[in-house]
Chains A and B, each alone.
Chain A
Amino acid sequence: MALTADDVNQIARLARLSLSENEAESFAGSLNGILDYVQKIDEVDTGGVEPTSRVARLSNVVREDRVEPSLSTEEALSNAPDKSGEYFRVPRVLEINE
């Protein structure tokens, strides 16, 4: 079933992405084209096949729990769009219940 502009807006909300009306329309068209194409993987028989999520032949990589030098607070804050002392500052997150 083809995606509509409303579906695209719903996906965009999940991705925290604001879209204009035009964008939602135009993405609906291109997304349908791409999903149609990738559908061809359905032709492959994958019964009993393990999925591959990584190609390097590695198991869990761990290291000793040791304190090492890392970015200073000043460096970490150097690109902050807004800050207050040693903190990133953002608009209100919680509703105030009076």
Chain B
Amino acid sequence: MELISKPVHELIDLLETRAISSEELVGQYLDRIEQVEPTIKAFITVDREGALEAARAVDESRRDGKAPSRLAGIPVAVKDNICTKGMATTCASEILKDFVSPYDAYVIERLRSAGMIIVGKTNMDEFAMGSSTENSAFFPTRNPWDLDRVPGGSSGGSAAAVASGEVPVALGSDTGGSVRTPASYCGVVGLKPTYGLVSRYGLVPYASSLDQVGILAGNVRDCAIMLGAIAGHDPRDSTSVKTERVDYEARLYNDIAGRVVGIPRECFGGPIDPHVTESVYAATKTLERLGARVQEVSIPTLQYALAVYYVIGPAEASASLARYDGVAFGYRYKQAEDSVSMFMETRGRGLGPEVKRRILIGTYVLSEGNYDRYFRKAMQVRTLIKKEFEQALEHCDVLVTPTTPTVAFRLGEKTDDPMSMYMSDMCTVVANLAGVPAVSVPCAKHEGCPIGLQLIGRSLDEALLLNIAYAYEQASGFEIEKASVV
């Protein structure tokens, strides 16, 4: 049976009725990885033997009627900034090239106890800093829809792996759009949950007040199933929220009559490609046909979101990345004669240009004389953005915007101009600044490349957000095809 194009919810049925074994399923995916990986290059590490062994163990437990969960036996890929015990966690950086975490991240504990099969670790922009996966210290990943284009970033490996059928589902991380941008460019569903819903324990930090583990999936229902598998309170992350368990899949009613959909006026025009604008407006017509009330709203401070992000993100990064000093783990420059030159040379040689750039910006905006002018000011504007967003979400159930200003750009197109690369995040950063959940779903194609529709919801109301995304997905008829490039 050909299993590669099937959604997770169908694979669950096939496994539960024992029509297929996990070994067979994982074997097919591993063969697919072997076939397309030379072209796509989505993975930094593939653990063939470990995956097959874990699959056989799940098959055995299922034969004994003791499968650990419905997801037992389903393969999954994990972004390489999420710690996996016994498997390298490199963050696509020279400085962590040989790092093997001695512990599992919270989300990895959850996947393992659910019996999911971790087939490998995916490529990314170094330390999750970038929008194209070209900042990987190892190699760029290709967009499965057009090999000359980037898959987006920073979770580009996870998005490309799902889009090219190398795995049915993957984990990524999202600090300013790093799950949603690649989801949009690769034509898959990408969810950034509410800040605090998923524990960050074992997620290598970039900017701790913005970072969140997210999901890349082939469809909204699979995304809902995965969210149920990784959400929950964890005392080891002090920002983890205590909430009741929600069955997100059961909450996909598909009925959105009377729901209010807001279109923030500030998210259109400017650098947004007219084809993208047109597709997003067409999507709002679909929502209207389903009985939703669509209305324009205004969020004036939205125009400052990207500027705020590029102060707060680098400031937090400059602190988070101070740990890469060559002392306790990671690369060390061994010819240094004293400790300070060891720190300087280790960091100078081990970190890539974009990471250095953000450490420099962060150090500058936090330095004496600049703190109030940049950092404190940005945190104050963040307060206003958050407040305006919460007000808009009082009378709107969801806000819709483009996920990205354009379709995927070409490899090399923006590598020399960091500011134009940063603009790719202009519609996504606001959900991280406000801490609210947001999802990107495919809504159209232009030049053969997918366009993503972003839906932004209320804090901790992923159930409603995913239900609206689900209703749209079902009605739009834009069934996610697997990219057939390879």
User: A18-B348, A56-B435 known; A37 and B339 CB under 8 Å?
Assistant: no
Q: Are B332 and A82 in contact (CB under 8 A)?
A: yes
Residue of A nearest to B300 (CB): A44
Contact assessment for B377 and A55 in the assembled complex, using a CB-CB cutoff below 8 Å: no
Q: Is the interface of A mostly helix, strand, loop or mixed?
A: loop
A38 touches B318 (CB 8 A): no
* B residues less than 8 Å from A91 (CB atoms): 336-339, 341-342
B195 pairs with A88, CB closer than 8 A: no
Chain A interface: which of B119-127, B357-365, B397-405?
Answer: B357-365
> How many A residues have CB within 8 A of the partner chain?
52
Query: How far is B338's CA from A93's CA once the two chains are assembled, in angstroms?
Result: 6
Task: Name A72-97 residues within 8 Å CB distance of B.
Answer: 75-76, 78-82, 88, 90-93
Interface string of B304-336 (1 = CB under 8 A from A): 101110110000001000100111111110101
Chain B residues with CB below 8 A from A41, complex form:
304, 307-308, 311, 374, 377-378, 381
A61 at the interface (CB under 8 A from B): yes
Knowing A41-B311, A42-B377, the reply to whether A17 touches B359 (Cβ < 8 A) is yes
A50–B195 CB distance below 8 A: no
The answer to whether A81 and B367 have CB atoms under 8 Å apart is no
> Which A residues lie within 8 Å of B279 (CB)?
none
A contact residues around B9 at 8 Å (CB) = none
Inter-chain CA distance A35–B308, complex, in Å, is: 11
A37 contacts which of B334, B378, B419 (Cβ < 8 Å)? Answer: B419
CB neighbours of A53 from chain B (8 A): 209, 379
Chain A hits for B306, CB < 8 A: 37
| Chain A, Cβ-Cβ closest to B321 | A15
CB atoms of B356 and A61 under 8 A apart: no
Report the bound CA distance from A37 to B327 in whole Å: 36
- Whether the pair A31, B364 counts as a contact (CB closer than 8 A) is yes
The DSSP consensus for interface residues of chain B is helix
Q: Does any Cβ of B come within 8 Å of A67's Cβ? A: no
Of listed A31, A37, A42, A51, residue having the most chain B CB within 10 A = A51
Q: Do the beta carbons of B196 and A18 come within 8 Å of each other?
A: no
Complexed CA–CA distance, A39 and B377 (Å): 10
Q: Is the CB–CB distance between B307 and A61 below 8 Å? A: no
* Complex Cα–Cα for A42 and B356 (A): 26
Decide yes or no: A27 and B434 within 8 Å by CB, A40-B304, A46-B377, A46-B384 being known contacts.
no
CB-defined contacts of A76 to chain B, threshold 8 Å: 102, 328
**Interface 1/0s, chain B 398-436, versus A by CB < 8 A?**
000000000000000000001100100000000001110
Report the Cα distance A54→B423, complex, angstroms: 24
User: Smallest CB–CB gap between A79 and chain B, Å?
Assistant: 4
Distance A88 CA – B434 CA, assembled complex (angstroms) = 41
**What is the chain B residue whose CB lies nearest that of A30?**
B418
Across the interface, which residues of A come within 8 angstroms of B357, CB to CB?
27, 30-31, 34
Instruction: Name the one of A14, A31, A40, A79 contacting B307, with C-beta atoms under 8 angstroms.
Output: A40
Chain B residue nearest to A39 (CB atoms) is: B307
A56 vs B378: C-alpha distance when bound (angstroms): 18
A37–B307 touching, CB < 8 Å: yes
- B281 at the A/B interface (Cβ < 8 Å)? no
Residue in A19, A30, A31, A78 whose Cβ sees the most chain B Cβ within 10 Å:
A30
One of B130-138, B175-183, B233-241, B464-472 at the interface: B233-241
Question: A55 to B192, alpha carbons, bound, how many Å?
Answer: 15
CA distance in complex: A71, B202 (Å): 14
| For the complex of A and B, 4 pairs with smallest distance between CB atoms | A55-B435, A18-B348, A51-B379, A79-B329
List the interface of chain B (C-beta within 8 A of A). 98-100, 102-103, 195-196, 209, 235, 238-239, 241, 301, 304, 306-308, 310-311, 318, 322, 325-332, 334, 336-345, 347-349, 351, 353, 356-357, 359-361, 363-364, 367, 374, 376-384, 386, 418-419, 422, 433-435
15 A–B contacts from the bound complex (CB under 8 Å): A12-B360, A33-B418, A38-B378, A41-B307, A41-B311, A41-B381, A44-B384, A46-B381, A54-B209, A56-B239, A61-B238, A75-B102, A79-B328, A79-B330, A82-B332
